[in-house]
Amino acid sequence: MKIQEAKYVMSNSDYEKCPAPNMPEYAFIGRSNVGKSSLINMLVEKKSLAKTSQQPGKTQLINHFEINNAWYLVDLPGYGYAKVSKSEREKWEKMIGDYLHNRENLLCTFVLVDIRHSALAVDLEFMEGLGESGIPFHIIFTKADKLKAYQIEAQLKAYTEKLSELWEEVPPIFVTSAEKNEGREPILKAIESYNATFSKNP
């Protein structure tokens, strides 16, 4: 898939105020500081479409970007640690949950995980929640440039074994590096195949 146009549309705290659900949509989410904004910018080949920050918790709203006038990429707030109050965090969790459970044109959620870490409870719990709710998701490992090839292989093996304890079938996995522009094509190819199924719906 060639990205010809990527533009910011709107930000909301309420899924009901999001753009009309007339195009396929893909959400990107992960723990704070997982490299989400860098990955999104790498996917669409724009350096500052999504705002990057060293400060965890930068994304605080449901952010819609329109790609090729054909589909929406949605940047969601991170879950887990962020320097915000408990009440603010609970507000985010409700906003994210309402969106994920009710957005009718959401075809797949991409859960981002830092490949340098072993399986963390906060990530596994989030994925488990998606699985129990029947929300399709794929896993994107970020920051692969920080490890050597054998370390990546070991991390993937350990993570896959952990996931196999939770599910009979492990979700699709992508390995990426925003720094080295790696993993872009397989993700866009997956989105393209989902787009094809959406266009067939009445």
| Domain at 83, CATH number | 3.40.50.300
Domain-located, residue 177: yes
pLDDT for the residue numbered 81: 60
- 32 in a structural domain: yes
Cβ 182 vs Cβ 176: under 8 Å: yes
Q: Write the pLDDT tens digit of every residue in 31-52.
A: 988 999 999 999 999 887 876 5
| Residues 19, 104: Cα–Cα separation, whole Å | 12
Q: Does the pLDDT of residue 202 top 60, yes or no?
A: no
**What does the alpha-carbon distance between residue 25 and residue 70 come to, in Å, rounded to a whole number?**
9
Residue 125's alpha-carbon distances to 30, 31, 69, 90, in angstroms, are 12, 12, 34, 16
Q: How confident is the model at residue 155 (pLDDT cuts 50, 70, 90)?
A: very high
CA–CA separation, 141 vs 34, rounded Å? 9
- Higher pLDDT: 200 or 184? It is 184
- 63 falls within a domain: yes
Structural domain span for residue 74: 6-200
User: With 50 as the cut, is the pLDDT of residue 124 above it?
Assistant: yes
Q: Is 135 exposed, middle or buried (0-12, 13-18, 19+ CB in 10 A)?
A: middle
Q: Rounded to two decimals, what is the model's pTM?
A: 0.92
Domain assignment present for residue 196? The answer is yes
User: What does the pLDDT read at residue 199?
Assistant: 64
Residues 46 and 75 sit within 8 Å (Cβ to Cβ): no
Is residue 123, in this structure, part of any structural domain at all?
Answer: yes
The reply to whether 128 falls in a domain is: yes
Amino acid 157: pLDDT:
96
- Count up the domains in the chain and report the number: 1
Amino acid at 88: E
Query: Does the residue 164 lie in any domain?
Result: yes
Residue 1: inside a domain, yes or no? Answer: no
Q: What is the pLDDT of residues 51-90, one digit of tens each?
A: 654 444 556 789 999 999 999 999 998 887 656 677 877 8
